[in-house]
Structure 1
Amino acid sequence: MTGTMAAHILKTVGLRILAALLVLLGVLQVLDLLDVTTDIIERELGLAGVAYYALLRLPRLIEQAAPLAVLSGALFGFTKLARNSEVTAMRAAGMSAYRVTALAVPAAVLVMAVQLLMATVVAPRTDQTLTDWWRATTPSADQKAAEPRTFRLGADIVVATPASVGGERLTDLTIYHRNAEGRLTQTTRARSAIYRDGAWVLEAPTFRSVAPGRVQSSSAAEMIWRSDLTPGDVEALFAGSQISPGAAAAGLEGKAAVRPRSYYATQLQRFAADPLACVVMLLLAAPVALANFRSGGTALLVSCLAAGLVFLVVDGVFVAVGESGLAAAWLAAWAAPVLFSVGGLTALIYLEG
């Protein structure tokens, strides 16, 4: 009997979460395509191009829609159980509200696993494929000249302009060498840099060494610049795609980075904390299972929905604060999930009485 009730709860909540995810993906996909369909048609890529774009964007959309899908699907599922007095019957048979909630958790965990897979494995690859495809299909008349980009490489600051699609060539390169205290010690300028045999070859570089009380200039016909910078790093820096866990870890280790260390530290913590949003949403929706819809239970439903939306806003605010360096990375990433999980459990305990 208990096994039948467990399967019924999981099926009721799980199917509604799946339905909510499909609906949200459809809405997000339509909104996304509204912005780019005209460009795709103008590039004469046809419906196949639209479908290809939609396929490459799907992993990111799944990542974005997952928490809201769990919230809305769980609300619908628990509402059905409450309206049909099924939760009342289960509690009369000795099953607590905590047990009812726990039996629905596997559905949220499954969505959480899919979200984590999309964010860390699939989406970084499809993002790069989409960037390359979009660049390759851009008409010559619409192609913009590459602009210089400033990024940090260890203690040094580098300014360069990409001159090849794969990132193997840079132009107008300037390297500001700094010591451990962050003071400028030397400036290196070169007309171009080509990646060859694991190192960068600088063409006609000029140097200006800076020391207390003097500045010394020199030049060379060619120079080997050995650094951790690779063509892949260059391509990722100038593409401006969403950051991956590997890129965040690399930024913290002193490799090529365009943002402060606090940003990468927060992002790294967020990769671990973000999937838990699905479980948090389930906990926030769980009190609806104990609502009495014959006497104002709708107010509890609206409150749970509002709590889930507020969680997304508060989580975004905490992350922004952490990225700016105003709060510790672990606090910025974990504060909202922990606080709202405690809030959901507290409401469930109160209603269980």
Structure 2
Amino acid sequence: MRLQLYVLKTVATRILGAALILMSILQILDLLDVTNDILDRGLGMSGVAYYAFMRLPRLFEQIAPIAVLAGGLFAFSQLARESAIVAMRATGVSGYRIIGMAMPAAIFVMLLDALCGQYLAPRADPALADWWKNTTPVAERKVPAPRTFRAGSDLVIGATATADGREMDNVTIFRRDPKGILVEKVEAQKALYANDRWTLEQPKTTRFSGDLAQTSTAASTTWPAALKPRDVQSLFGDDAVPTAASAKRALQNGGSDRPESFYRTHFHAAFAGPFVTLVMLLLSAPVALANFRSGQGAVLLTAGLGAGLFFLVANGMLTALGESGALAPFLAVWAAPAIFGALAIRTFLALEG
């Protein structure tokens, strides 16, 4: 038990240190761009702190894989240099067991990464965007461009939306028949979400039948759309990354403004993304069995770092191909983790003998 805690503590502290350093660097670079604007708006240091705090989930999601890679390389190289690995193996502890002792640290980062990507960041981003918009001086505010998206079979144009996604202004809905011919246009000043349904206020409906167009108005009407407030937040947000839930809803006739391949790719990525941290630990594992006296350690250390960075690049490129539809989404998301994970395991097996 003491041996397991020693290995776990060594790896966990190195991963934590790498994460803190990387997050600090990204946070500083991020704040360099916005601190002057925040102070000019009279928000003071509390505004800077609020901005930094709300950015933490998204920043952690970005640095989690690199933190595990760097922390694993530092920890395993230290254990190898101190001959701790040799001593453990001399007492009958296999290399597989040593990696198993370090695995809980990577699993914890994996779970925290999933929490940030699927729950915390999707809630922090809209709140931060709304705060930023509301604190912008009136003279500098720009009218946002209307957003066009699909809601089931309907094509929708919305001017603006509230931060909670429960209200849209100046909504225009185009309905088509199965052949894609326009049959109805609905214009409403507002679309409100309450009691699990959308209500259009003062809608003006124009129905098309051949060369004829009939117009009618009403005080309000129900809009039978599968759209949810969370979907509206994503559609009106800036560079919003779909979660597994929002991607699934988009594929099930929820709100979408991208091709189907984009949402299928991100649906798979929501599950594959956290496993990237485990692959990073596997890529750093061969360093534990290296002989630093012969120079093998430096080679494996460099190779592990290079493999980890190349893995991130390859994974990003394949994901982009999946988003565009050039590659099957499942293959685009899972290919890189499977290939690099297998190569890392093969290298470790060769060193373990």
* 1: CA distance, partners of 2:200 / 2:338: 50
* 1: CA distance, partners of 2:51 / 2:348: 43
Are 1:204 and 1:219, in contact at CA under 8 Å, matched by a contact in 2? no
Residue 234 of structure 1, CA deviation: 3.3
Are 1:159 and 1:175, in contact at CA under 8 Å, matched by a contact in 2? yes
Residue 208 of structure 1, CA deviation: 4.6
Q: Which residue of 1 aligns with 2:221?
A: 224
Are residue 95 (structure 1) and residue 90 (structure 2) matched?
Answer: no
Identity of aligned residues (%): 43
Are 2:7 and 2:102, in contact at CA under 8 Å, matched by a contact in 1? yes
In the TM superposition, what whole-angstrom CA distance separates every residue of 1:198-221 from its partner, at most 9, and x where no partner exists? 4433546252525xxx33211113
Are 2:202 and 2:217, in contact at CA under 8 Å, matched by a contact in 1? yes
Distance change >3 Å, CA 232–CA 119, structure 1 → 2: closer
* 2: CA distance, partners of 1:196 / 1:54: 31
In the TM superposition, what whole-angstrom CA distance separates every residue of 1:56-99 from its partner, at most 9, and x where no partner exists? 11111111111110000000000001111111122222222222
Are 1:199 and 1:226, in contact at CA under 8 Å, matched by a contact in 2? yes
Aligned pairs for 1:171-190 (under 5 A) are: 171=170, 173-181=171-179, 183-190=180-187
Q: Which residue of 2 aligns with 1:338?
A: 338
Partner AA of 1:26 in structure 2: S
SS of structure 2 residue aligned to 1:158? strand
Are 2:69 and 2:281, in contact at CA under 8 Å, matched by a contact in 1? yes
Distance change >3 Å, CA 206–CA 68, structure 1 → 2: same
Q: Which residue of 2 aligns with 1:7?
A: 5
Distance change >3 Å, CA 125–CA 174, structure 1 → 2: closer
* 1: CA distance, partners of 2:168 / 2:283: 52
Q: Which residue of 2 aligns with 1:350?
A: 350
Are residue 215 (structure 1) and residue 211 (structure 2) matched?
Answer: yes
- Provide structure 1 residue ranges, at least 5 long, that are not aligned to the other structure: none
Q: Which residue of 2 aligns with 1:170?
A: 169
TM, length-normalised to structure 1 = 0.91
* 2: CA distance, partners of 1:274 / 1:219: 50
Partner AA of 1:70 in structure 2: V
- Provide structure 2 residue ranges, at least 5 long, that are not aligned to the other structure: none
Residue 164 of structure 1, CA deviation: 5.9
Cα RMSD of the aligned pairs, angstroms, is: 2.0
Are 1:146 and 1:163, in contact at CA under 8 Å, matched by a contact in 2? no
Are 2:244 and 2:270, in contact at CA under 8 Å, matched by a contact in 1? yes
Moved more, 158-167 or 278-287: 158-167
Moved more, 188-197 or 69-78: 188-197
SS of structure 2 residue aligned to 1:88? helix
Are 1:188 and 1:207, in contact at CA under 8 Å, matched by a contact in 2? yes
* 1: CA distance, partners of 2:203 / 2:264: 38
Q: Which residue of 2 aligns with 1:64?
A: 62
Distance change >3 Å, CA 164–CA 78, structure 1 → 2: closer
Q: From 117, 120, 124, give the equivalent of 1:119.
A: 117
Partner AA of 1:323 in structure 2: E
Are 1:190 and 1:202, in contact at CA under 8 Å, matched by a contact in 2? no
In the TM superposition, what whole-angstrom CA distance separates every residue of 1:22-79 from its partner, at most 9, and x where no partner exists? 1111111111111111111111111110011001111111111111100000000000
Are 1:176 and 1:184, in contact at CA under 8 Å, matched by a contact in 2? no
Moved more, 198-207 or 19-28: 198-207
* 1: CA distance, partners of 2:292 / 2:114: 36
Distance change >3 Å, CA 163–CA 4, structure 1 → 2: closer
Partner AA of 1:99 in structure 2: R
Residue 157 of structure 1, CA deviation: 1.4
Aligned pairs for 1:252-331 (under 5 A) are: 252-297=251-296, 298-331=298-331
Moved more, 240-249 or 332-341: 240-249
Residue 224 of structure 1, CA deviation: 2.2
Where does structure 1 differ by over 6 angstroms across 4 or more consecutive aligned residues?
none
* 1: CA distance, partners of 2:63 / 2:72: 14
Distance change >3 Å, CA 251–CA 98, structure 1 → 2: same
